[in-house]
Amino acid sequence: MALGLLVIVGASGYAALAACRVEFPLLDRWLAQSCRSEAEAAALARLDRLRSRNLALLRDIRRTENELAALQCEAVPPTPAPEPAAPPDRAGIDPGIWNRGDIRVLDGCWELDSDFRTRDIQTGRITHYTQWEMCFDREGRGRETMTATNGTTCRGAVSGRFLDRDAAGSLQRLEVREPGNLRCSDGSYIHQRIITCELAGDGGASCVNFQPETGGRGEVRLRRRTEDQ
At position 182, the amino acid (one-letter code) is L
Beta bridge partners, 197, equal: 174, 207
Domain spans in the chain, listed from the N-terminal domain onward = 11-70, 95-224
Q: Is the pLDDT of residue 195 over 70?
A: yes
Structural fold of domain 95-224 = Lipocalin (2.40.128)
Residues 6+ apart with CB under 8 A from 99: 172, 199
**Cβ contact 142:106 at 8 Å:** yes
Q: What is the pLDDT of residues 204-225, one digit of tens each?
A: 999 999 999 989 899 999 999 8
Pairing of strands 216-224, 205-211: antiparallel
Q: What is the pLDDT of residues 97-132, one digit of tens each?
A: 999 999 999 999 999 987 888 888 788 889 999 999
> What gap in Å lies between CA 27 and CA 96, rounded to an integer?
105
Instruction: Note the pTM of the prediction, 2 decimals.
Output: 0.58
- Binned at pLDDT 50, 70 and 90, residue 85 comes out as very low
Q: What is the pLDDT of residues 153-189, one digit of tens each?
A: 999 999 999 998 866 777 899 999 999 999 999 999 9
The whole-number pLDDT of residue 212 equals: 94
